[in-house]
Amino acid sequence: MPVIMHVDMDAFYASVELRRHPELKGRPMWVGGESRGVVLSASYEARAFGVEGGMSSTRARRLCPDAVAVSPDHDTYSAVSEGVFAIFSTITPTVEPMSLDEAFLDVTGAQRLLGSPRQIGELIRAMVADEQGVPCSVGIGPSKFIAKLASNAAKPNGLVEVPPTGVISFLHPLGVEKIWGVGPATASALHKIGLRTVSDIAHTPRSTLQRALGAQLGAQLHDLAWGVDARRVIAHERERSVGSQETFSKDTDDLGLIEDELLRVSSRVASRMRAARVLGRTVTVHVRFADFRVVQRSATLRSPTDATGDVHASAVKSLRAMRLDRPRIRRVGVRVEGLVNAETAYQQPMLGEPDHGWRDAERAADAAVARFGPRAVQRATLAGRRRP
């Protein structure tokens, strides 16, 4: 019988910020905009007031006026995530990342060296806390489905193990909303036919569920209600990307101002790529409008780059290709994906390109900024311009 773990960092961004700002421990806080933008992560003290990730900062402030808002630092979150996943790799080679802050681990073969599943789970929690200074919750079960439910039950900062013989007693009292694939609409449909717990689903004929929900979903829910989940943990590398975003202090439709802000964001992204010694090939622009709708467009470059000009030119081209007949713009972001090692990647030279160009100039600027601060070298377009 396989032994699967789901490890989930608790309020990840908020936990990292609390590590850096211990004076905020015990206080309601969130990571995100002070009065604009969205909440990316909220401490459990803030969650007690109803604040949650994805909520607008305006609504969060109404719910919890005394909470502290902390600006996000995605570079730090990525670094902590890398450290956490490095710990996972010392436990087992079979790690399936689900996001920056959660993963499935197949520890079936690790028991011979590291002990029982519970001992392995506690080892992971201790190593993450000791080396990265953030808490995590661990769920253990015979399948991915059960392990995920167990980690939810373990939050915050706990461990829940569901042995094969305990699957039914753990699973059946839960509400139908806990099953994968059951969102508000499906839950409502289940409630209408009198099904409110997982046990109710398990003891409903498969054919009845299929008539009510469709052949595929009905069969899937019936299997899951009995703990049947044959999906394996598939080890693979996490997707790598570098990105940044900026929220305007006032919504704007000034295209020149928006393109200047894209330059600032592109410069930040390119600088981070050079620091990480990577090049990227795909540039994605994200635009959030005043009505909170989001549009994004991606473009693939002829060859990988870490030059601000290349990233910005692609971002502007994608922006101009968008239909900007929506309300005014609230936030812009740039993300570069398809990263490769800068030392080994081949870059197609441009006809007539000089031996030393913008990439060399930007490396020199990076060195000056590292030594003298962020205002040591700035692009003339942005010099003296206050952030919008």
Residue 67 lies in a domain: yes
Whether residues 247 and 312 share a domain: the answer is yes
Whether residues 206 and 323 share a domain: the answer is no
Per-residue three-class SS string for the chain: CCCEEEEEECCHHHHHHHHHCHHHCCCCEEEECCCCCEEEEECHHHHCCCCCCCCEHHHHHHHCCCCEEECCCHHHHHHHHHHHHHHHHHHCCCEEEEECCEEEEECHHHHHHHCCHHHHHHHHHHHHHHHHCCCEEEEEECCHHHHHHHHHHHCCCCEEECCHHHHHHHHCCCEHHHCCCCCHHHHHHHHHCCCCEHHHHHCCCHHHHHHHHCHHHHHHHHHHHCCCCCCCCCCCCCCCEEEEEEEEEEEECCHHHHHHHHHHHHHHHHHHHHHHCEEEEEEEEEEEECCCCEEEEEEEEEEEECCHHHHHHHHHHHHHHCCCCCCCEEEEEEEEECCEECCCCCCCCCCCCCCCCHHHHHHHHHHHHHHHCCCCCCCCCCCCCCCC
Profile the chain (388 residues) by mean pLDDT over runs of 10 residues: 95 94 94 81 95 89 94 84 91 89 94 93 96 96 96 96 97 93 87 95 94 89 93 78 85 90 91 83 88 81 86 92 75 87 55 48 59 52 53
Tell me whether residue 102 is one of the annotated catalytic residues: yes
Residue 157 lies in a domain: no
Give the end of a domain, one of 225, 253, 288: 225
Contact 54, 38 (CB under 8 A): yes
Residue 235 lies in a domain: no
pLDDT for 354 equals: 44
Whether residues 247 and 339 share a domain: the answer is yes
Indicate which residue of 45, 102, 161, 261 is catalytic. Answer: 102
pLDDT for 382 equals: 55
Whether residues 191 and 132 share a domain: the answer is no
C-alpha 179/C-alpha 163 separation (Å) is 18
pLDDT for 278 equals: 82
Which of 21, 76, 27, 74 minimizes the C-alpha distance to 47?
27
C-alpha 28/C-alpha 44 separation (Å) is 7
Burial per residue of 51-60, b for 16 or more beta-carbon CB atoms within 10 angstroms, e otherwise: bebebbbeeb
CATH number for 208: 1.10.150.20
Residue 233 lies in a domain: no
Whether residues 86 and 176 share a domain: the answer is no
- Ramachandran angles phi, psi of 127, nearest 5°: -65, -40
Whether residues 189 and 76 share a domain: the answer is no
Token pair 């421990």 is found at 25
Whether residues 98 and 207 share a domain: the answer is no
User: Any bridge partners for residue 289, and if so which?
Assistant: 329
Cα 245 vs. chain centroid, distance in angstroms?
14
Residue 384 lies in a domain: no
Residue 190 lies in a domain: yes
Amino acid letter for position 383: A
Residue 236 lies in a domain: no
Q: Cα torsion for 336, 339, 343, 348, to the nearest 10°?
A: -70
Phi-psi region of 332 (alpha: psi -120 to 50; beta: other; left: phi over 0): beta
Whether residues 294 and 333 share a domain: the answer is yes
* Tokens found for residue 42: 């909220």
Whether residues 119 and 12 share a domain: the answer is yes
CATH number for 66: 3.40.1170.60
Residue 151 lies in a domain: no
Per the structure, the count of domains in the chain is 3
Domain extent for 198:
172-225
C-alpha 277/C-alpha 359 separation (Å) is 12
Tell whether residue 325 is among the known ligand binding residues: no
CB atoms within 10 A of CB 239: 11
Whether residues 80 and 201 share a domain: the answer is no
Phi-psi region of 352 (alpha: psi -120 to 50; beta: other; left: phi over 0): left
C-alpha 296/C-alpha 267 separation (Å) is 19
Whether residues 365 and 309 share a domain: the answer is yes
pLDDT for 196 equals: 96
Whether residues 136 and 32 share a domain: the answer is yes
Amino acid letter for position 198: V
Tell whether residue 8 is among the known ligand binding residues: yes
Peptide bond into 28 cis (omega under 30): no
